[in-house]
Chains A and B, each alone.
Chain A
Amino acid sequence: GENVEQHPSTLSVQEGDSAVIKCTYSDSASNYFPWYKQELGKGPQLIIDIRSNVGEKKDQRIAVTLNKTAKHFSLHITETQPEDSAVYFCAAGTGGFKTIFGAGTRLFVKA
């Protein structure tokens, strides 16, 4: 079945450094790639998304890149801050009701 693999499972960076989380999807029909951030005790919240007709999207310190040929997409966080510490999920969808989520990456930003 459809699958989204996410790496690494845990990432620890120093405040001010960059963090990169990578995902690979299996369903070539996927055309929508959202990223969610889950803080402790809360539900996931959308932070950025990208559609398959775009290769890169940026929103302040956050950027996502998509390589459709390789079925890879990545989240880049620059100038990390302690409040960026959370669990991040990548996901892939085909525009329908089912979105396949990655296993999550726990990001620690050390002050």
Chain B
Amino acid sequence: DVKVTQSSRYLVKRTGEKVFLECVQDMDHENMFWYRQDPGLGLRLIYFSYDVKMKEKGDIPEGYSVSREKKERFSLILESASTNQTSMYLCASRSAGSTYNEQFFGPGTRLTVL
């Protein structure tokens, strides 16, 4: 059974803290994605990585950075957390065989910034 796991289901941090969200996939997928999910806004792409050490900005990259040192792991970093980054964060992965391939999502991390 294919799997995308995220390090935490719930996370509470304070304003100004550095926050790391980790995502691991066991499908040997080349492409990985970070989205945030907010009510009424759907899923919005923050960053994606098409291969190890490669990263590209999505639609809302401000305030975030990412790291992809190994194929299976994609990290999202909030350098200095702010209250407007309180959200559900979803990681996804996809095979590079075809860009029409299904994205597989993790269960999400609900981050609260106080």
CB closest residue in chain B, given A98 = B45
Contact B45 A99 (CB under 8 A): yes
For residue A28, CB closer than 8 A to chain B, the reply is: no
B45 to chain A, nearest CB (A): 6
Assess A43 versus B99: contact at CB under 8 Å? Given A101-B43, A102-B42, A103-B40.
no
A interface with B by C-beta (< 8 Å): 1, 4, 6, 9, 32, 34, 36, 41-46, 49, 51, 89, 91, 93, 95-99, 101-104
23 pairs across A/B with beta carbons < 8 Å?
A6-B42, A34-B102, A34-B103, A36-B105, A42-B107, A43-B92, A43-B105, A43-B106, A44-B105, A46-B102, A89-B42, A89-B43, A91-B43, A93-B99, A93-B100, A95-B100, A97-B31, A97-B33, A97-B50, A98-B45, A101-B35, A101-B42, A103-B42
